[in-house]
Structure 1
Amino acid sequence: MAKRQVSTATRGAGKKSGRKAQRQGRLAGAKRFVREVRAELGRVTWPDREQLQQSTAVVLIIVLLLTAYIAAWDFVFQSLARLIFL
Structure 2
Amino acid sequence: MSLCGNAAGVKLETTVLPLILRGINLLGINSVNASQEERETIWNNLADSWNVVDNLNTKTIKLDDVSETIIALKEGSHVGRTIVEMN
Same fold by TM-score greater than 0.5:
no
User: Which structure has the larger Rg?
Assistant: 1
Structure having the higher strand fraction is 2
Query: What TM-score do you get using the length of structure 2 for normalisation?
Result: 0.23
Q: Which has the higher contact order (CA 8 A, sep 6+)?
A: 2
Whose helix fraction is larger, Structure 1's or Structure 2's?
A: 1
